[in-house]
Chains A and B, each alone.
Chain A
Amino acid sequence: GIQVEQSPPDLILQEGANSTLRCNFSDSVNNLQWFHQNPWGQLINLFYIPSGTKQNGRLSATTVATERYSLLYISSSQTTDSGVYFCAVGSSSGYALNFGKGTSLLVTP
């Protein structure tokens, strides 16, 4: 399957700071999604973004499919942004998504 690498593995920010999370993948994809897992374990879909750029409030994401990477931007971070961010990819030859190991984010007051 497609290999997915996320960086950094851990990140600590002070409230109000900006951050960029990266997702590299090893092959062509027709699906790329970003998820946030909150401290209660709930997985929330942030973006469906196999290519291009999307924005939703303080969050935005960009996928450059030809170069096999995606970036998740968090601006003006808040303590509620804490949790683990996962990148997951899928290809046209498969049925399900392959997940990276995540970036664990802690935003301190």
Chain B
Amino acid sequence: DAGITQSPRHKVTETGTPVTLRCHQTENHRYMYWYRQDPGHGLRLIHYSYGVKDTDKGEVSDGYSVSRSKTEDFLLTLESATSSQTSVYFCAISLGSSGNTIYFGEGSWLTVV
């Protein structure tokens, strides 16, 4: 258990509504990540954080924003959800940057109808 909690674990929402997913860690790791997983694409990086209030974009960041006001929490927001954002979202943490072991949360299943 890597001490990562994602919430909500499952959510159905309507097109055009805002949605926030929360990732909470108890490990005090500096680096946190949001990935999405879709059939045929594997896992793709949305945004990552390398410290409090330090965030940057990943491969598929359009339509998403993030915030990190505390070490332990990394929030992913869909400002206006679209059906293309139906996916499984995984939060991950690592002690260091790309050269360190990464651990995943259990995932959040989001359906946009």
Contact = CB atoms under 8 A, between A and B. Distances in A.
Contacts, number: 60
Prevailing SS type, chain B contact patch: strand
Interface stretch (A12-20, A53-61, A72-80, A90-98): A90-98
B107 A102 contact: no
Contact of A96 (B41, B48, B88, B107): B48
B68 to A, nearest CB: 14
Contacts of B59: 1
Interface residues of A, number: 25
B103 A31 contact: no
Interface string B34-57: 010000111111001010000010
A25 to B, nearest CB: 13
A4 to B, nearest CB: 8
Contacts of A1: 59
Given A92-B98, A94-B98, A45 B42 contact: no
A33 B101 contact: yes
A100 interface: yes
A72 B101 CA distance: 17
Interface string B91-104: 00000011111111
Given A41-B88, A43-B90, A45-B103, A96 B98 contact: yes
Contacts of B107: 41-43
A1 B102 CA distance: 18
Interface in B65-90: 88, 90
> What are the nearest 10 A-B pairs in CB distance?
A90-B98, A43-B104, A101-B42, A99-B43, A99-B42, A48-B101, A30-B99, A96-B45, A95-B97, A94-B98
Interface of B: 31, 33, 35, 40-45, 48, 50, 56, 58-59, 88, 90, 97-104, 106-107
Interface of A: 1, 30-31, 33, 35, 41-43, 45, 48, 50, 86, 88, 90-92, 94-102
